[in-house]
Amino acid sequence: TVLFRFIDTSAYPGCRARTVEHGFPHQPSALGYSPCLRLMAIGTRSGAIKLYGAPGVEFMGLHEENNTVVQIHFIPDQVTLLSAVMSLFACSWRESLCFPRSPPSATQITAVLPHSSREVLYLGTESGNIFVVELPSFRVLEDRTITPEAVLQRVPEDYCNRRSCELVEALREHPKNPDQILIGYSRGLIFLWDLQNNKVTHLFLGTQQLENLHWQRDGSKFVSCHYDGSYTQWPVSKCLTCLMSLKFAYGLLQCTPLTLFLLRLPYIIFQGGMPRASYGDRHSISVVHGSQQTAFDFTSRVIDFFIIFSSEPTAEFDDPSAMVVLAEEELVVIDLKTAGWPAVHPPYLASLHCSAITCSHHVSNIPLKLWERIISAGSKQNIHYSNMVWQLPWPIDGGTSIAPDPPQRDLLLTGHEDGTVRFWDASGVCLHLLYKLSTVRVFLTDADPNDNMNTLGEDEWPPLRKVGTFDPYSDDPRLGIQKIYLCKYSGYLAVAGTAGQVLVMELNDEDAEHVVDHAEADLLQDQEGYRWKGHEKLKTRDGPVRFEAGFQPFVLVQCQPPAVVTSLALHSEWKLVAFGTSHGFGLFDHQQKRLVFVKCTLHPSDQLALEGPLSRVKSLKKSLRQSFRRIRRSRVSSRKRRGGSGNASEVQEANAKFDQDTLQEMELAPVQRKIEARSAEDSFTGFVRTLYFADTFLRDSSRHCPSLWAGTNGGTVYAFCLRVPPAERRMDEPVRAEQAKEIQLMHRAPVVGILVLDGHSTPLPEPLEVAHDLSKSPDMQGSHQLLVVSEEQFKVFTLPKVSSKLKLKLTALEGCRVRKVTVANFSSCKTDDYSENDLAVLTNLGDIQIISLPFLKLQIRYPCIRKEDVSGIASCVFTKYGQGFYLISPSEFERFSLSTKWLVEPRCIVDMPEVTSNNHVRPKSVCLTPDSCALQGLGVIGKTELLLCEGTVESSSSYVGTSGSNSRSDTHGHPTGISFQTFRNVL
């Protein structure tokens, strides 16, 4: 076993990293619940254990090896958690816990029973032995071991000859008499064992393969459920009871295994038991109450579930209030108190990946009016959910969150493969779904927008009802959302998709029916020799379309060819939206619903951009050929540099001058390196990476004007002057655009960011930000500067002349490239009078660098994401105030903070009732913090490793991750806490 302790790590500031996880644990494998603490624990295949209580109460620990957690048990009335983990080493033994009676191959733990005395633990194994282990020392009590031989002495000879015991399938303590435990073997033999006298008191001779056992509340009977889908109720009245009549939940047909049967009177709840021929692939849990019976059909495999019920010992019935089901891809809670048993909208553990996430967008400091309108629209979508969370406390409410209220309202928008956009409350620790937007209604697809997963068919048997939101299948992959842009001041939303569709929406508080205007943007501009080989555009609906309250599209811009939209920008003050693909970019006036211009950026030799995302394999030969050409060119250029005639003295003189220049360059910029130029023939040079609106000096230094900037994959920056009519003539005069500048970076590195700084070297404010008195007006007197960020370097130009002023090469590490860049505002945590704007940069090595503006000085560098985690780096999104999100799994976001002021972290305590154990008294209030877990090795049992997690009295502290040389990550690369070796030394 391994001992976990939640301890205060504030003494180790060097190992601190501000992180918190949002979403649903990846690959869950075990579930546990403590009725005393009202805490829920989830174990995963990577060895993580996550504890959840009331909203904001979260803990996390990680085992030393990435082994699957197979069982989780809370020690009764203690802040102690026991987990069984599948060990990677079947013969791993330690002196503190060994079993001399059985070989290692036969000692895999199959059943665990923490006794209510909190002094011992009963472990059933696949050899049929039941070992008694003392807590917390984990010393095996050899004299109390229950062997199959001791049981078989009481079994009739004919039954003994016919069946062997095999493995221990279930261990259950008598609900009224803690001196008796019920033991069930795989082949059907069940017996009641007297702990005081070490003998069998009752035998139950079953003939079906046993799956599980469950006591009735008063202890007068228990239920056994079997592999063939049957169950039997056994009265505890006779010393020897033969098998009674079997009962089947759904008829006598061959059924799926009945893995769990609960008698929570007046409810009967069981898992499985469905007719195998017709419903063998369903993941169901059935609930029966009187004449009402429903089989809840889950969209992914059920891992485990538990019932929240009255724990009063004097109560006549269990009186269940909720059923909590852990499925493989989501957590589903059913309200058993409300008529119809509706699902509950959980405040955390959101299924972010109900449809695969394709993009994300963060908006900070949402105005209250917009926030309330989004919540109102979302509440109208949740009418089929239970109102338990609002009328009654969330049923899993252990612990107390002591975190301060969020200082502002933040939104995280996620785009999904099925064409939906989900709005998440990202203000605090719990990521909560506020509203879901679907773009499907605009297009003609096979999906029915009126589908309801919670419909119940009349006269259907079994009475199946779909529950859960996980639906990974998309009817049309072209619906996938690729880019999102929300203006928090005007309420305009722009959404772009996989098939070149760009939708502009506005917020409406009521349902509406209207026609969506269409416009096409031909980015190839009828150029000869080009033919699109990819997917077709989506077909749109004719006539009026009915939309529910919320964001409603009013115009659709369709790019031709219908390639993936790679960049998007919205200027709500000018009523303009810009979009880019691998073929070019365009500008659309969504007030006049008119296309302003399009610009083709496709290179004549770039045929890959015309083949679509599904046809790139066909051009593998071309890609290899281009790679070899680049290698050949670099070799030729290096030979030319080394070649030439001259005597030895000239060579030595040239070498000396070269060494001197190199030394000076290293002294001036010790982290810079030589950048190798890229060829114009490289594929996807016309790929538009970034779009940017700015009111700046583009033509001359005396007049500023609106402008649009676009950066491509080939290192080209296009600048267009825009003439936007004043408000009084906005609908009468068209918006005009004219290309004013074109910048070609020398090394043709892809442009990933464009930024204009005003006369005070401050980034220009967002649209309408000055009008809402949330930002100072930009300085339009001094000269402006243009910052162009490529994958290779940062370069500052003066405007309007566009002359090079300053540059910074990225790093000395070979192969380093900029992947994401944004402007972040860093405020002082000690005073409100100081803040500064810096660049937050993510590289392909997973590092985050903070670079000052406008002098481009590297401030600090953090290792954040594993460089092998390509999806994590690609999914990263920065916030305006120095935080960030990235996917550590398909269902989880890791949230990190680069600012000492803007922190989101779980701060919570858990109170424990006063209990006495091992002749000492634990305090009534135990403060558990979401800090890291320390490991102390105690032993391994064959193939299964036991771990004991125990709480100690500590003060509250912030969530701690890892960084630096002592850090350790799980299989997904996210930090797991203070390094285990560090804490072993401390302990």
Residue 412 has pLDDT above 60, yes or no: yes
Least confident of 185-194, 238-247, 364-373: 238-247
Contacts for 159 with CB less than 8 Å, ≥ 6 apart: 189, 205
Place of tokens 């929300």: 486
Q: What is the pLDDT of residue 726?
A: 93
699 neighbors 800 (Cβ within 8 angstroms)? yes
Q: What is the pLDDT of residue 947?
A: 53
In a 13 Å sphere around the CA of 30, the CA atoms on its Cβ side amount to 25
One-letter amino acid at 64 equals E
User: How sure is the predictor about 773, in pLDDT bands with cuts at 50, 70 and 90?
Assistant: confident
Q: What is the pLDDT of residue 965?
A: 30
Q: What is the pLDDT of residue 644?
A: 47
Q: Which of 806, 681, 679, 799 is nearest to 741 (CA)?
A: 799
Q: Is the dihedral of CA 359, 602, 494, 492 positive or negative?
A: positive
- What DSSP string runs through 184-198? EETTSEEEEEETTTT
User: How sure is the predictor about 672, in pLDDT bands with cuts at 50, 70 and 90?
Assistant: very low
Q: Is the dihedral of CA 306, 312, 314, 316 positive or negative?
A: negative
User: How sure is the predictor about 783, in pLDDT bands with cuts at 50, 70 and 90?
Assistant: confident
Instruction: State the Cα angle at 871 between 963 and 969, rounded to 5°.
Output: 25
Residue 433 has φ and ψ, to the nearest 5°, of -75, 125
Neighbours of 513 (CB within 10 A): 10
One-letter amino acid at 337 equals K
More confident position, 199 or 448: 199
Residue 808 has pLDDT above 50, yes or no: yes
Contacts for 808 with CB less than 8 Å, ≥ 6 apart: 669, 672, 793, 794, 795, 851, 856, 857, 858
Q: What is the pLDDT of residue 459?
A: 62
One-letter amino acid at 680 equals A
| pLDDT tens track for 726-741 | 999 999 999 999 999 9
Least confident of 98-112, 173-187, 508-522, 907-921: 98-112
User: How sure is the predictor about 392, in pLDDT bands with cuts at 50, 70 and 90?
Assistant: low
Q: Which of 735, 709, 708, 711 is nearest to 723 (CA)?
A: 735
Number of H helices, E strands in the chain: 9, 66
Mean pLDDT of 48-61: 91
More confident position, 165 or 626: 165
Coil, strand or helix at 371? helix
More confident position, 473 or 691: 691
| pLDDT tens track for 459-518 | 677 889 999 999 888 778 999 999 999 999 999 999 999 999 999 999 999 999 999 999
> Which residues on neighbouring strands pair with residue 849, listed in sequence order?
841, 861
414 neighbors 426 (Cβ within 8 angstroms)? no
DSSP state of 539: P
- Average pLDDT score over the chain: 81
One-letter amino acid at 256 equals T
> Which residues on neighbouring strands pair with residue 821, listed in sequence order?
841
CA distance 312 to 687: 66
Residue 371 has pLDDT above 90, yes or no: yes
Buried b (16+ CB within 10 A) or exposed e, 960-970: bbbbeeebebb
* The two structure tokens encoding residue 567: 């960049």
More confident position, 5 or 924: 924
Residue 449 has pLDDT above 70, yes or no: no
854 neighbors 796 (Cβ within 8 angstroms)? yes
Mean pLDDT of 672-678: 55
Least confident of 100-109, 139-148, 540-549: 100-109
Contacts for 310 with CB less than 8 Å, ≥ 6 apart: 317, 318, 319, 321
CA distance 436 to 430: 17
CA distance 686 to 524: 11
Residue 623 has pLDDT above 60, yes or no: no
Residue 831 has φ and ψ, to the nearest 5°, of -140, 145
Neighbours of 916 (CB within 10 A): 10
Coil, strand or helix at 189? strand
DSSP state of 15: G
Place of tokens 């494998």: 29
CA distance 229 to 248: 6
Q: pTM of the predicted model, to two decimals? A: 0.85
Sheet of strand 199-205: strand arrangement? 168-173, 180-185, 189-194, 199-205, 240-242
Query: pLDDT exceeding 70 applies to what percent of the chain?
Result: 77
CA distance 791 to 875: 17
User: How sure is the predictor about 602, in pLDDT bands with cuts at 50, 70 and 90?
Assistant: confident
CA distance 164 to 143: 24
Maximum C-alpha span of the chain: 111
Q: What is the pLDDT of residue 833?
A: 84
> Which residues on neighbouring strands pair with residue 262, listed in sequence order?
269
Instruction: State the Cα angle at 361 between 355 and 364, rounded to 5°.
Output: 135
* The two structure tokens encoding residue 541: 């609906």
Q: What is the pLDDT of residue 631?
A: 58
| pLDDT tens track for 541-587 | 989 999 999 999 999 999 999 999 999 999 999 999 999 999 999 99
Q: What is the pLDDT of residue 9?
A: 29
Place of tokens 């002294």: 667
Q: If 0-12 CB within 10 Å is exposed, 13-18 middle and 19+ buried, where does residue 668 land? A: exposed
CA distance 682 to 554: 39
